[in-house]
Structure 1
Amino acid sequence: MAGSSTNRAGRLLLGDRFLLALALLCCLSAPVHAGSFNSRIVGYFVQWGIYARDYEPADIPAQSLTHINYAFMAVNAETGQISSYDAWADLQKVFAAKNGLPAQTWDQSAANLAGNFGRLRDLKALHSHLKVLLSVGGWTLSGPFPTVAADAAKRQAFAASAADWVSGQGFDGIDIDWEYPSLADRDNFSALIKATRQALDAKGLADGKTYLLTVAAPAGPSNMAVWDLARLAPSLDWFNIMTYDYHGGWDATTGHLAPLYENPADPAADRATWNADWAVQAYLAGGVPAQKIHLGIPFYGRSWEAVPATDNGLFQSGQAGPNLGVAGNWENGVLDYWKAMDIARDGNHAVNFDAAARASFIYGANLSSGLASGGLFVTFENTASLSEKLALAKTLGLGGVMFWELSGDVRDVTDADSLLGLMARTFTTDDAAMSMPWLMLLLDES
């Protein structure tokens, strides 16, 4: 009988081990502090997010990423200096207390900075691992770059003002998003990057800090051909490759926003080079170290309407998707990721996966009788396609990932559909588990 009691106790102990291990693994699946991150996760925060999107810095799940790029600062073509594009949003708006961040006041001293800048400083104080960079330019504000980069004095003014903004406002570096240099700008762009690197290094030496310099980098071959990677790479901490917007409502045929690989069935003439894997391999071939490469991820989708049902709408004719007149759909043919997920769950649409491109898409009925006949096609990133990209990033030893932009994700980072949540779990779980050998022993013994 004693043997029987021992067996029962043993079974209970094994059960307890299993339950304990399971509970601990569940904890590991939740957002983890960045102390255990083994890759960088860089997310853009858009200045205008505080308006219609109602997304402020206090809403950022800072425990789940390592770096924030604040978009965007403007460039003055006459002086070369950078400046705030929306001073009220950047420096003046007073935020109420939220999510552990204190209420701001109307006292605009450096110690009590208001606006998004002040809020980001508060966020950094709460999350000591977090780094925040000022991003300059973007699609709308890149116009002055050619003039500034072509003039040595303006290049120096740009670099000096960038360093002053970083140091004076408590940021950690500069991200340059010039969309896009032409072949005539090739040498000037390299010179601008070098001047900015030197100014940040000098300011960092004076401040006792190390400031970062990064770029938003093109993913298509024509724009990449302009970049002198051999000259740029030594001055840059990393390249955020914009591996998205390969297809959209400007095309007469549906296609993938951000395919990982080529699908031979894609009728696009440039399908062989318009995919994320090709872009990453091109940067590696150009001599950029893997640790300086970040794979770009879209937190939004693009859509077409009046799409035939053949092949669930993939590579079919269509027209730019509708503006549904609701939050999450800000312009024709563009939807936030969370809005795309709402559509995917509405019972009228199905999520499909292209096994060749390793890309996800939605197809189904139109959303209202006012839309054109035919189906609605949405190309977007979801957790299935993102998992493939994160696996590639780890396999290639890339420095990490970048995404555009924070307000596009589902609001709860612990939600199984959260893209940022998946990134954080992917880039922390291995380290966290391996740092607890007793947990691995429990799992083995169970």
Structure 2
Amino acid sequence: MSADVVFGYLPTWQTSKADGVDFTKYTHITIAFAVPDEQGQITMDNRDSVMKEWVPKLSESHAKVLVSLGGWTGSKHLSPVLKDQKKRNRMIDQMVQWMQDFGFDGWDVDFEYPGRQGNSCHPFDAREDTPNFLAFLKELRLRLDSEFGTGGNKLITIATRFQPFDGPEGPMSDVSEFAKYVDYFNPMLYDFNGVWSDTTGPNAPLDYAKGKALQFSFKSSIQSWIDAGIPAAKINAGLPFYGRTVTANADMTRSHDMYQPLTKTIPRGDGDDKEEADGSCGGPKVFSGIWKYSNLRSEGVLDTPDSAAGPWTRQLDNTTNTPWLFNRETKDFVSYDDVVSIGAKAEYAVAKGLAGVMVWPITNDFDSELVNVIVAAFA
């Protein structure tokens, strides 16, 4: 069975960079993010202008158009809202109203993360978050079917972490009940390693290296969701169109070893990276360390898809199937995804019988280099 879903995220703050995106390469595109407040009221930056421009434009490409609720900073109030039936109903009422007002095809719910700490100031309930989330999705499914008809007319998708939802004892062994109400599960299979880690390592490994860095990967994460009862045909495996930067404490051109001690200060990433405070929890202004693939290609780091320009060097870690860059002058290390690693993951999605893949975000591609590899693997 061939995978066929190419599910992409379009952030509202990146719409100015979306004109070069070939939307016809995507089967589903979700506009991110709508954010709930403590009462379950949902808002979106420049909602009316964004929705009136982009829902028709994306629909013209024949993609299914969704809106994403929550996100890393936008999940702050989801745990308490989902505990309160009145607030939950209010949020569902608005979700239905948005669909009626703007004519899109469904909702993508990005609750980060039910049952465990997500962003540092976000409340969570290890015992109740996951059952409350399930109850909410069931209620949303019933309401959408009642308002718009059954038979898959309106979609519910969810972005998830790399492991199944948490209960009081950690990741649950059976989350199959969610599959009754959710059309697609989009595990975010990136941000495995970064400045929070003990060493440099892969942002989004296909496989993990035993005994080195976090012992999870693209392959192991997909299997954990299948083992927990989610059908492969409902999973879109997450792909990052970006890399993360950290500063190593060694010259990695000598060791050629992807795993080295690192500095706990995030260096600047690409030319778009700015020092900013967390939009939800505050704190000091810091860089993200993000390198968009498009900027790796356009800012003189990668002169071709698989070669770097000095002072950068490029290497490919065969164990994790991860390309990585090292700057000999700054000792900055960038783990990212390119045509090689994206192609390998897309091919694995096909072999595993997944629905397809998910891309964060679609605006980071360069002349469709990455999405073209996905489409070729699915052909």
- Please, what TM-score do these two structures have when normalized by structure 1? 0.72
CA distance in 1: counterparts of 2:321 and 2:248, whole angstroms: 24
- Which of 237, 242, 247 is matched with 2:183 structurally? 237
Q: Which amino acid aligns with 1:71?
A: A
Match of 1:23 in 2: none
> Aligned pair 1:297/2:239, yes or no?
yes
Contact persistence 1:71–1:135 (CA under 8 A) = yes
Q: Deviations over 1:327-386 (max 9, x none)?
A: 3677342111122344233232222111111222112323xxxx5xxx221100111111
CA change 1:239–1:188 in 2 (3 A) is same
Match of 1:327 in 2: 272
- Which of 124, 134, 139 is matched with 1:195 structurally? 139
Q: Secondary structure at the match of 2:100?
A: helix
Contact persistence 1:307–1:313 (CA under 8 A) = no
Contact persistence 2:198–2:262 (CA under 8 A) = yes
**Unpaired runs of at least 5, structure 2:** 116-125, 276-286, 304-308
Match of 2:322 in 1: 359
CA distance in 1: counterparts of 2:156 and 2:346, whole angstroms: 24
- Which of 14, 18, 26 is matched with 1:49 structurally? 14
CA distance in 2: counterparts of 1:165 and 1:120, whole angstroms: 14
Question: C-alpha displacement at 1:75, in angstroms?
Answer: 0.8
Question: C-alpha displacement at 1:251, in angstroms?
Answer: 2.1
- Which of 201, 212, 223 is matched with 2:155 structurally? 212
> Aligned pair 1:117/2:75, yes or no?
no
Contact persistence 2:28–2:66 (CA under 8 A) = yes
Match of 2:282 in 1: none
* Bigger Cα Rg: 1
Q: Which amino acid aligns with 2:108?
A: D
Q: Secondary structure at the match of 1:425?
A: helix
**Unpaired runs of at least 5, structure 1:** 1-36, 92-114, 429-446
CA distance in 2: counterparts of 1:389 and 1:65, whole angstroms: 17
Question: C-alpha displacement at 1:76, in angstroms?
Answer: 2.6
> Aligned pair 1:84/2:43, yes or no?
yes
> Aligned pair 1:395/2:327, yes or no?
no
Q: Deviations over 1:395-417 (max 9, x none)?
A: 0110000011012111x22xxxx
Match of 1:407 in 2: 363
Question: C-alpha displacement at 1:221, in angstroms?
Answer: 6.2
Q: Secondary structure at the match of 2:51?
A: helix
Contact persistence 2:59–2:65 (CA under 8 A) = no
CA change 1:125–1:392 in 2 (3 A) is closer
CA distance in 2: counterparts of 1:84 and 1:227, whole angstroms: 35
Match of 1:432 in 2: none
Question: C-alpha displacement at 1:43, in angstroms?
Answer: 0.7
Q: Deviations over 1:116-174 (max 9, x none)?
A: 212223314532x2111010000101011111111122222222221221222111000
CA change 1:325–1:68 in 2 (3 A) is closer
CA change 1:409–1:325 in 2 (3 A) is closer
Q: Counterparts in 2 of 1:12-411, with a 5 A limit?
A: 39-50=4-15, 54-56=16-18, 58-78=19-39, 80-81=40-41, 83-86=42-45, 88=46, 90-91=47-48, 115-127=49-61, 129-182=62-115, 183-184=126-127, 185-205=129-149, 210-220=153-163, 223=166, 225=171, 229-264=175-210, 266=212, 268=213, 270-271=214-215, 274-308=216-250, 309=252, 310-319=254-263, 320-323=265-268, 326-327=271-272, 331-341=287-297, 342-345=300-303, 346-366=309-329, 371=330, 375-410=331-366
CA change 1:167–1:425 in 2 (3 A) is farther
Contact persistence 1:45–1:407 (CA under 8 A) = yes
Q: Secondary structure at the match of 1:139?
A: coil
Q: Deviations over 1:306-345 (max 9, x none)?
A: 4412433511012244215723677342111122344233
CA distance in 1: counterparts of 2:222 and 2:274, whole angstroms: 30
Question: C-alpha displacement at 1:305, in angstroms?
Answer: 1.9
CA distance in 2: counterparts of 1:222 and 1:198, whole angstroms: 22
Q: Secondary structure at the match of 2:149?
A: helix
Q: Which amino acid aligns with 1:317?
A: P
CA change 1:219–1:383 in 2 (3 A) is same
What's the % identity of the aligned pairs?
Answer: 29
Q: Which amino acid aligns with 1:192?
A: F
Q: Secondary structure at the match of 1:353?
A: strand
> Counting helix residues as a fraction of each chain, which structure ranks higher?
1
CA distance in 1: counterparts of 2:326 and 2:301, whole angstroms: 10
Question: C-alpha displacement at 1:265, in angstroms?
Answer: 5.1
Contact persistence 1:238–1:294 (CA under 8 A) = yes
CA change 1:44–1:61 in 2 (3 A) is same
Aligned residues: 343
CA change 1:265–1:188 in 2 (3 A) is closer
Match of 2:118 in 1: none
- Please, what TM-score do these two structures have when normalized by structure 2? 0.84
Contact persistence 2:35–2:70 (CA under 8 A) = yes
Contact persistence 1:329–1:335 (CA under 8 A) = no
CA distance in 2: counterparts of 1:142 and 1:339, whole angstroms: 29
CA distance in 1: counterparts of 2:325 and 2:260, whole angstroms: 13
Q: Which amino acid aligns with 1:409?
A: D
Q: Deviations over 1:18-53 (max 9, x none)?
A: xxxxxxxxxxxxxxxxxxx95100110001114xxx
Contact persistence 1:43–1:69 (CA under 8 A) = yes
